[in-house]
Amino acid sequence: MGPVLAGVLQLLALIAALALAYAPLGNHMAKVYSSDRHWRVEKWIYKGIGADPDTEMRWTAYLRGVLAFSVVGVLFLYALQRLQGVLPGSLGFSAIDPDQAFNTAVSFVTNTNWQSYYGEQAMGHVVQTAGLAVQNFVSAAVGIAVAVALVRGFARSRTGELGNFWADLVRGVVRILVPLAAVAAVVLVACGAIQNFSGIHEVGQFTGGSQQWNGGAVASQEAIKEIGTNGGGYFNANSAHPFENPTPFSNLFEIFLILVIPFALTRTFGLMVGSVKQGYAILATMATIWVGFVALMMWTEFAHHGPAFDIAGGAYEGKEVRFGVGSSAIFATSTTLTSTGAVDSFHSSFTGLGGGITMLGMMLGEIAPGGTGSGLYGMLIMAIIAVFIAGLMVGRTPEYLGKKIGTREIKLAACYILVTPALVLIFTAFAMALPTPANSMTNSGAHGFSEILYAYTSASNNNGSAFAGLNADTQWFNSTLGLCMLLGRFVPMVFVLALAGSLAEQKPVPATAGTLRTEKPLFTGLLVGAILIITGLTYFPALALGPLAEGLAS
């Protein structure tokens, strides 16, 4: 079997698995967020945190809950890292430096999981399990909660109430993420991923000599890292490490875990707004972009450029031979079109155009299918923009799901899509202009610029992957990337929740002959076009200086 055919067959198997999980998981999540009953364990949690899960919240109160919970998470995780040297199970590792502790705390709370450290050489068992793994659960649940609040904004009328943040948070963790992660962890252990709390071992090497390896609760953290589209690896090699990702089957399974909730949330959306067809339209948009990007990535990486490529059968530099080019292309595309950041190969070693595809996937806003929750609300914002564009074309006030898209709504949507491009381009410009951050680049020219552009694109879009070759463990990068993560996560949430509140206050507008049918393929095409055009106009000059220049020169 040729490598190209193997890659195509893996893609087809992945699509089939996602199709089988789509309706059951989407239906389950719709029931979770529509139920008025509380499980006993949930009642204990509410009592412990002093929350009333039955109190309805307006968007301002919902936002206060999101921000308050996240601030506490940052402070707790920062303190845990700074105290690591005196904690049990630290494996002899000292406390994390202040700037790196800030960067890591912000990274995991914002669902970014950018890592400027070597996990196996810096973090002990307590920080990994009680700190980083816990944030993998709750940061993902926050994203889903905000998405559900926006969906309620479309579904409700003549009220500003969007549900209860604490109930949405707890239910997301208890009823969705924990059960899925438990099953996934068992599968990964069966595949060969490690799950223990052992200390540091001296391990012999085939070429002579030895090296030190420590164990850890890897399978459980790997499961929620993928399910929650988090991405932070227990080891520096991330999902290229055999302890995290042992076999080709586990590799395909991890890609499935990355995509399953973001895609299934479109079903949840359709059920909650009372039209499954609306969910199919959003699903079709996400799937079209994802499949298109996977095809482009496979083409660029299987393209032959000279004798070395001909002999190897593709661009094998930086890729695990256990997985091959096709599987690595699917993983890279999926992890950058979501807010995951996990890697089973090194994006810096991809072809120039292949590296550009990973960047472009993040620049779209990670909406195809995007992160857990963030992908859905990002795509709905783009749907509002597309409806507005269609309204301008026919001279009619735009409507979406029975809600008029007026001045307030379009301003909030526009502010949402401007936040991350501003962060990416401004901070990239500063880093290239100042001598200190520029000195962190291993490479010069177009690839060096791509390293900087990739870093701020990843941080601002809460992805977490990186181009190798950039020394990001400096005060400049730890601080500025941390700031980008914070602003890129929570400022858009402000606009999303404000938009949800505005929509919930409206009364439904009946559909007429002039209403744009947003459940039809025509709207899917319009939405795909709007996403690509807006992103292209925003980022094309920066991409032309980096990956496009490198790709065309090779």
SS3 of 1, please?
coil
Q: Contact, 198 vs 217, CB < 8 A?
A: no
pLDDT at position 304 is 58
| CA end-to-end span of the chain | 29
pTM of the model: 0.95
d(CA 254, CA 264): 16
DSSP label of 345? B
d(CA 355, CA 360): 9
d(CA 392, CA 166): 39
Q: Which of 363, 242, 357, 245 is nearest to 301 (CA)?
A: 357
Handedness of CA 120, 468, 532, 403 (dihedral sign): positive
Cα angle 210-211-214, degrees, rounded to a multiple of 5:
140
Name the region of 517 (left: φ>0; alpha: ψ -120 to 50; beta: rest): beta
**Amino acid type, 111:** N
Contact partners, residue 439, CB within 8 Å, separation at least 6: none
Full pLDDT tens readout for the chain, 554 residues: 578 888 899 999 999 999 999 999 999 999 999 999 999 999 999 999 999 999 999 999 999 999 999 999 999 999 999 999 888 888 888 999 999 999 999 999 999 999 888 878 888 889 999 999 999 999 999 999 999 999 999 999 999 899 999 999 999 999 999 999 999 999 999 999 999 888 777 777 767 777 777 888 899 999 999 999 998 888 888 999 999 999 999 999 999 999 999 999 999 999 999 999 999 999 999 999 999 999 999 999 887 565 556 555 567 777 888 888 889 999 999 999 999 989 999 888 888 889 999 999 999 998 999 999 999 999 999 999 999 999 888 777 789 999 999 999 999 999 999 999 999 999 999 999 888 877 777 777 888 899 999 999 999 999 999 887 788 888 999 999 999 999 999 999 999 999 999 999 999 888 877 788 999 999 999 999 999 999 988 999 999 998 888 887 76
For the chain, the structural domain boundaries read 3-201+211-553
β-pairing verdict for 403-404 and 399-400: antiparallel
d(CA 123, CA 129): 10
Q: Contact, 124 vs 95, CB < 8 A?
A: no
d(CA 320, CA 327): 10
Q: Contact, 147 vs 394, CB < 8 A?
A: no
Q: Contact, 529 vs 364, CB < 8 A?
A: no
SS3 of 119, please?
helix
d(CA 38, CA 53): 9
Using alpha carbons, list the distances in angstroms from residue 116 to 89, 219, 236, 390: 22, 22, 9, 44
Q: Which of 153, 87, 57, 58 is nearest to 376 (CA)?
A: 153
Q: Contact, 115 vs 455, CB < 8 A?
A: no
DSSP string across 32-51 = HHH-----HHHHHHHHHHT-
pLDDT at position 305 is 63
CA torsion 226-232-233-235 (nearest 10°) is 180
pLDDT at position 306 is 55
The backbone torsions φ and ψ at residue 16, rounded to the nearest 5 degrees and listed phi first, read: -65, -45
SS3 of 323, please?
coil
